[in-house]
Structure 1
Amino acid sequence: MRFKKEYDFVHLSRYFYVFSIALTVAGLIFLATMGLNYSVDFKAGSNVDVSLSKNLTLEQINPAISDVGISSEPSITIGEKRVNIRYDEVLESDQDAALQTAVKKLDAKASFEINTVDTEMAKELARNAIYAVLISCLGIIAYVSIRFEWRFALGAIVALMHDAFIVVAIFSIFRLEVDMTFIIAVLTIIGYSINDTIVIFDRIRENLRFGKQKTYEDLKILVNKSVAQTLMRSLYTAFTVFIAAFCLLILGGESIKMFSLAMVIGLLFGAYSSIFIASPLWLLLKKRQKLPVKSSTAK
């Protein structure tokens, strides 16, 4: 199944550009004013994950742990027979023992998993996460530049940075928790984004070899034709991974919830970035090498 080759994807891309720019601006504003809601993975503190034998309510847990000698106000998340308690300070051994004693008064069969991150470790994790994203982007730029050309490389890097940033922006706007699994999700999204983009770029390059493009309109037709030829393949791939990520979001545990949510968001935006952002951007850059309008006479 293919879309009609004369379908004007390039013309439609202007609406997606406006939408993406608006969302990017909103994301920048929220990041500048509110930042990200970092989990204990990226800031000093203790994260207490409690497995219960029965369901407890916030009204039961909050009073029970309020008098355990911990000065900072905890962030409490209630799940199905599960409670997550996060503190912005590292718990001492006596505080840890007092907390466990208080919870076990509510549920004697409760089991605890405590993760503690000090200040230096938190800074190192955040720094390494940024390095991982930047190094992967530089590697992609080098690969696409060698395999194709710099215009393809610029289009590809803008598309994948768009996908990654939109996920970060949405997490900032809605104050969703950013942990290590979020970084894994962003790197995975970058991989899927560049895969779809390369498929379309490869078809554009192949069609360039067998066509005689003399004007901008010729290039525009070629881009629309190339996108139409690869569209269903890209949608099938994205949809398959989306279904898996969505099932993990609905049925998976709390530990992978943010990973699954980031994947779902990234796949949705990545589904159109290769088509409506990367390819039209390449066309815009390539236009400088061609006549801006079609010649009025032909020989």
Structure 2
Amino acid sequence: MNFNTKIRFDFVGNRNKFFLFSIALTVIGILSLLIFNLNLGVDFKAGTNMDISVGKAVSQQEAKDILTQIGIEGVTPTVGGTGNQRVSARFDEVLAQPKIVEIQNAFKAAYGDQVSAEVNVVSPDMARELGIKTIWAVLIASVGIMIYVMIRFEWRFALAANIAILYDAFVVVALFSIFRLEVDLPFIAAVLTTIGYSINDKIVIFDRIRENLRFGKYKNRDQLSEMVNASLWQTMERNIYTVLAVLVIAVCLFVFGSHSIKLFALAKIIGLTSGAYSSICIASPLWLLLKGKEKPKVAVKSSTSS
């Protein structure tokens, strides 16, 4: 069949390569989570986070030396903000008020009375509650998207889309586990927005597949494969422009943003890239596999008695 579309690459024909790559990355991610777990930030484990504004330029080593002088070892603070005047230090334990005051006084002794601090303390119960709510948020979002796609399309589209968006979310989690990047509340926001952007790409492609399916007659698997390939290339330009528009913003946030937003931007970059990949290389070929298993409908002829 002629779709008047130039198919530059056969995504459907190479689906097994994409599936193998995705399965391999998933297995590596699962192993990393089982062996190393996630590098949880203060938001998801008991601890204390201090953001100290010193009013002067400070280096990471200077800030670490101040903490060492008052007996705090093993904590590597980060320096950022305008002119490197802000120190962020994360402690794995809940610091008592006298210890917090001692840290503030140590920085005041070094940089003067203009030093101020913002303290965030997370108790074990609060950390556990945040973890449970995060899991529920991802599950509810996934179920809601699946129900929406089933209502708008049909169950094969919904299943293919849900597998792909869960893969996208897992890729972000897996890469953060593999490279030991810190997981905090902005990271969860990035994962949830990744799911939203990912389903948008898939809806656009599925809508074109459904349209081509409605106005064409496909007698065998090869014709269906050609139709899916054509649908991918018919929507390719729109999807690329949509992803690039958001990706440019995420890259700018990562390059020029403060330290507190860099990991959020990095998670967005990973999620957007994975979402674009899974829409083309996983969701659509997966729908074709499910469609291929559909039993052909046999017309029942009514018999008349003589």
Indicate whether the TM-score tops 0.5.
yes
TM-aligned CA deviation for residue 251 of structure 1: 1.1
Query: Would the aligned equivalents of 1:6 and 1:225 in 2 still touch at CA under 8 Å?
Result: no
Corresponding residue SS for 1:53? coil
TM-aligned CA deviation for residue 57 of structure 1: 2.6
1:26 aligned partner, one-letter code: I
Out of 73, 83, 87, the residue aligned to residue 83 of structure 1 is 87
**Residue 295 of structure 1: aligned partner:** none
Write out the 4+ residue segments of structure 1 that deviate beyond 3 Å after TM superposition. 67-70
TM-aligned CA deviation for residue 155 of structure 1: 0.6
Cα displacement string for residues 15-44 of structure 1 (whole angstroms, at most 9, x for unaligned residues): 322222221111111100111111101111
* Count of residues in Structure 1 that have an aligned counterpart in Structure 2: 289
Does residue 22 (structure 1) correspond to residue 27 (structure 2)? The answer is no
Does residue 139 (structure 1) correspond to residue 139 (structure 2)? The answer is no
TM-aligned CA deviation for residue 89 of structure 1: 1.1
**Residue 163 of structure 2: aligned partner:** 158
Does residue 286 (structure 1) correspond to residue 263 (structure 2)? The answer is no
2:89 aligned partner, one-letter code: I
Query: Would the aligned equivalents of 2:53 and 2:116 in 1 still touch at CA under 8 Å?
Result: yes
**Residue 148 of structure 1: aligned partner:** 153
2:44 aligned partner, one-letter code: F
% identical equivalent positions:
53
**Residue 55 of structure 2: aligned partner:** 53
Give me the whole-angstrom Cα distance separating, in 2, the residues matched to 1:241 and 1:161. 20
Matches within 5 A, 1:30-69: 30-68=32-70
Give me the whole-angstrom Cα distance separating, in 2, the residues matched to 1:238 and 1:258. 19
Give me the whole-angstrom Cα distance separating, in 2, the residues matched to 1:14 and 1:81. 52
Corresponding residue SS for 1:85? strand
Corresponding residue SS for 1:66? helix
The 3 A distance-change label for structure 1 pair 6 and 252 is closer
The 3 A distance-change label for structure 1 pair 119 and 210 is same
2:79 aligned partner, one-letter code: I
TM-aligned CA deviation for residue 290 of structure 1: 6.5
Corresponding residue SS for 1:106? helix
**Residue 10 of structure 1: aligned partner:** 12
TM-aligned CA deviation for residue 258 of structure 1: 1.3
Matches within 5 A, 1:111-126: 111-126=116-131
Structure 2: tracts of 5 or more residues without a match: 297-306
Cα displacement string for residues 55-91 of structure 1 (whole angstroms, at most 9, x for unaligned residues): 3233322232235466x74342233222211111111
Give me the whole-angstrom Cα distance separating, in 1, the residues matched to 2:24 and 2:150. 29
Q: TM-score, normalised by structure 2?
A: 0.90
Q: Give 1 or 2 for the bigger CA radius of gyration.
A: 2
Q: TM-score, normalised by structure 1?
A: 0.92
**Residue 233 of structure 2: aligned partner:** 228
Give me the whole-angstrom Cα distance separating, in 1, the residues matched to 2:135 and 2:125. 16
Cα displacement string for residues 135-170 of structure 1 (whole angstroms, at most 9, x for unaligned residues): 000011111112111111111011101111000000
Query: Would the aligned equivalents of 2:5 and 2:230 in 1 still touch at CA under 8 Å?
Result: no
**Residue 245 of structure 1: aligned partner:** 250
TM-aligned CA deviation for residue 105 of structure 1: 2.0
**Residue 304 of structure 2: aligned partner:** none
Cα displacement string for residues 88-118 of structure 1 (whole angstroms, at most 9, x for unaligned residues): 1111111111000111222223321111100
Cα displacement string for residues 230-288 of structure 1 (whole angstroms, at most 9, x for unaligned residues): 01100100000000111111111122111111001111111111011000000011111
Q: Which moved more, 1:80-89 or 1:235-244?
A: 80-89
Give me the whole-angstrom Cα distance separating, in 2, the residues matched to 1:69 and 1:221. 68
Query: Would the aligned equivalents of 1:216 and 1:290 in 2 still touch at CA under 8 Å?
Result: no
Give me the whole-angstrom Cα distance separating, in 1, the residues matched to 2:142 and 2:234. 27
Q: CA RMSD in A?
A: 1.7
Query: Would the aligned equivalents of 2:64 and 2:76 in 1 still touch at CA under 8 Å?
Result: no
TM-aligned CA deviation for residue 51 of structure 1: 2.2
The 3 A distance-change label for structure 1 pair 37 and 130 is same
Give me the whole-angstrom Cα distance separating, in 1, the residues matched to 2:138 and 2:33. 18
Give me the whole-angstrom Cα distance separating, in 2, the residues matched to 1:257 and 1:170. 15
Give me the whole-angstrom Cα distance separating, in 1, the residues matched to 2:237 and 2:15. 18
Corresponding residue SS for 2:90? strand
Query: Would the aligned equivalents of 1:214 and 1:290 in 2 still touch at CA under 8 Å?
Result: no
TM-aligned CA deviation for residue 8 of structure 1: 1.4
Out of 88, 103, 109, the residue aligned to residue 107 of structure 2 is 103
